[in-house]
Amino acid sequence: MKDIIIIGAGPAGLTAAIYALRAGKSVLVLEKELFGGQITYSPSVENYPGYKQISGNEFAENLIDQATSLGAEIELAEVVQILEGPVKTVITDGGRYECRSVIIASGSRHRHLGLPREEELVGAGVSYCAVCDGAFFKGKTVAVAGGGDAALQDAIFLSDRCQHVSIIHRRDTFRGEARLEAILRSRGNVEFVMDSVIESLEGDKKLSGITVRNKKTGEERKLPLDGLFVAVGQEPQNAPFADIVALDVSGYADAGEDCATKVPGIFVAGDCRRKSVRQLTTAVGDGAVAGLAAVNYINSL
The domain spanning residue 97 has which CATH number? 3.50.50.60
Among this protein's residues, is 272 annotated catalytic? Answer: no
Q: What is the pLDDT of residue 233?
A: 82
Classified as helix, coil or strand, 124 is coil
pLDDT digits (tens, 9 = 90+) for 248-289: 998 999 999 999 999 999 999 999 999 988 889 999 999 999
Classified as helix, coil or strand, 110 is strand
Model confidence at 2: pLDDT above 70: yes
Q: What is the pLDDT of residue 113?
A: 93
Q: What is the pLDDT of residue 56?
A: 86
Residue 53 contacts residue 145 (beta carbons within 8 Å): no
Q: Is residue 116 in some structural domain?
A: no
Q: Same domain, yes or no, for 187 and 266?
A: no
Q: Using the 8-state DSSP alphabet, how is residue 299 labeled?
A: H
Q: Same domain, yes or no, for 249 and 105?
A: yes
Q: Residue 223: CB partners within 8 Å, gap ≥ 6?
A: 143, 166, 193, 209, 210, 211, 212
Mean predicted confidence (pLDDT) in 171-179 = 91
Q: Same domain, yes or no, for 211 and 242?
A: no
Q: What is the pLDDT of residue 43?
A: 67
Domain range enclosing 278: 2-110+234-300
Q: What is the pLDDT of residue 278?
A: 85
Q: Is residue 115 in some structural domain?
A: no
Q: Is residue 168 in some structural domain?
A: yes
Which among 3, 99, 129, 271 is annotated as catalytic?
129
Q: What is the pLDDT of residue 17?
A: 98
Mean predicted confidence (pLDDT) in 212-233 = 95
Q: What is the pLDDT of residue 140?
A: 98
Q: Same domain, yes or no, for 85 and 66?
A: yes
pLDDT band at 111 (very low <50, low <70, confident <90, very high): confident
Q: Is residue 239 in some structural domain?
A: yes
What ranges make up the beta strands (E) of 225-278? 227-230, 234-236, 266-268
Q: Same domain, yes or no, for 9 and 89?
A: yes
pLDDT band at 34 (very low <50, low <70, confident <90, very high): confident
Which among 99, 132, 162, 259 is annotated as catalytic?
132
Q: Is residue 118 in some structural domain?
A: no
Among this protein's residues, is 133 annotated catalytic? Answer: yes
Q: Same domain, yes or no, for 196 and 105?
A: no
The domain boundary, picked from 210, 230, 250, lies at: 230
Of all residues in the chain, the percent with pLDDT exceeding 70 is 99
Name the least confident of 100-104, 224-228, 242-246.
242-246
Q: Is residue 87 in some structural domain?
A: yes
Q: Count of domains in the chain?
A: 2
Q: Is residue 119 in some structural domain?
A: no
Q: What is the pLDDT of residue 39?
A: 86
Predicted TM-score (pTM) of this structure: 0.75
Angle at 245 between CA 265 and CA 247, to 5 degrees: 145
Which among 3, 133, 226, 286 is annotated as catalytic?
133
Q: Same domain, yes or no, for 11 and 68?
A: yes
Among this protein's residues, is 259 annotated catalytic? Answer: no
Q: Same domain, yes or no, for 207 and 283?
A: no
Q: Same domain, yes or no, for 254 and 268?
A: yes
Report the candidate in 224, 201, 197 with the shortest Cα–Cα distance to residue 213: 197
